[in-house]
Amino acid sequence: MNALPIDYYVWLSATLFTIGVLGVLYRRNAIIIFMCIELMLNAVNLLLVAFSARLNDPSGQVFVFFIMAVAAAEVAVGLAILVTMYRATRSTDINILNRLKW
């Protein structure tokens, strides 16, 4: 069933991960930064599933399941922080968080 060579999945994951990193660096809207973090997590998930299918080892898929649980928890807490931040500053621009410095 392994129709595609695993190299393609490696390249696809690397590209997706780089797009996620670019988004985190490029945008200043906190909500889009969260989405880019999701994108990076998904790149890693895809690679784990590809290698697990290649090596006939179900442990990789269990790992992906745990990563999904952690991602869901992270998004819930992160968005709650975002809502709190929006209430305090009326904005989701992360540069405003500079004020936390002092």
Q: Does 26 bind another protein (CB under 8 A)?
A: yes
Q: What does the alpha-carbon distance between residue 51 and residue 38 come to, in Å, rounded to a whole number?
A: 20
- Please list every residue from 73 through 92 that binds another protein, using CB under 8 A: 73-77, 79-84, 86-87, 91-92
The binding track of 34-73 with respect to another protein, each residue x by CB under 8 A or -, is xxx-xx--x--xx--xx-xxxxx-xx-xx-xxx-xxxxxx
**What DSSP assignment string belongs to 60-77?**
HHHHHHHHHHHHHHHHHH
Residues 6+ apart with CB under 8 A from 66: none
* Beta strands, E only, the chain: none
Which residues are at the interface with another protein (CB under 8 A)?
1-7, 9-11, 14-19, 21-23, 25-29, 31-32, 34-36, 38-39, 42, 45-46, 49-50, 52-56, 58-59, 61-62, 64-66, 68-77, 79-84, 86-87, 91-93
